[in-house]
Amino acid sequence: MAIEVIAPLLALASRWRLSGQEHVPREGGALLASNHLSFADPIAVTLFTQTAGRVPRFFAKAELWDLPVIRRVMASGRHIPVHRGKASAVHAFRDGVAAVRDGECVVVFPEGGFTDRADGWPSKGKTGLARMALTTGAPVVPVACWGAHELLPVGAWLPRVWRRPTLHVVAGPPVDLSDLAGERPSASQLREATERIMRSITDLLVEVRGRTPPAEAMGA
């Protein structure tokens, strides 16, 4: 697997602080919700999830399946292609739901991309993850990633290995969405679930960063 090659290299290029693996269910369908700051985040979350005893599945833009080497990685990992801006994006949602119902551990970046905030706090989440959670009843485990953006900033082609940054990945208890669950959640239920998920991620980042975000970030 590609991760088996990358992991030792990352161990040399960075320091690692992983915690909260006990919150990831050891079996059964589960959703992991993480903030997103760097192209290195999926690698960090993959390593974290594997230390929790699970194999993660990711949503990723469909264009990655067109790249010769990456195509094999995406296919072997059974990741889920997303055709952005097309009606076929609904198939990605259905594939994600099917994966969860089949007992898979699916990782979602609910912001839908990198945060648009310059200070690194999460931006507003999209409701796709909430819809998956409410329709399947699967637990949503919040995950905070911090430091991968220092190793591989957005726009950089090569990691900044000389800085040897510390990569933090921490998970918290599943977000309580029990009062919102149902096969046909309303728009207000989806928004409430999304806000709870994003607050949980932000709370974990507060612990990692040791600082309080501005009020607008807490309402992401």
Q: How many domains does the chain have?
A: 1
Range of the domain at 113: 2-218
Classify 211 as helix, strand or coil.
coil
pLDDT at residue 71, as a whole number: 57
> CB-based burial of residue 203 (10 Å sphere; 0-12 exposed, 13-18 middle, 19+ buried)?
middle
- Tell me the pTM: 0.86
Higher pLDDT, 75 or 187: 187
DSSP per position, 63-124: GGGGSHHHHHHHHHTT-EEE-TTSTTHHHHHHHHHHHHHTT-EEEE-TTSSS---TT----P
The token pair at 129 is 């993850």
Check whether 6 has a pLDDT greater than 90. Answer: no
DSSP per position, 123-159: -PPPSHHHHHHHHH---EEEEEEESHHHHS-TT-SS-
Check whether 69 has a pLDDT greater than 80. Answer: no
Cα-based distances in Å from 125 to 16, 39, 97, 110, 207: 26, 18, 18, 5, 20
Check whether 66 has a pLDDT greater than 60. Answer: no
The token pair at 204 is 């974990």
How crowded is residue 51: how many other Cβ atoms within 10 Å of its Cβ?
Answer: 13
Please name the helix (run of DSSP H) or strand (run of DSSP E) that holds residue 37, with its range, or none. none
**Identity of residue 140:** V
* pLDDT tens by residue, 101-147: 999 999 999 998 899 998 999 999 999 999 999 999 999 999 999 99
- Give the domain CATH number at 98: 3.40.1130.10
| Mean pLDDT for all residues in the chain | 84
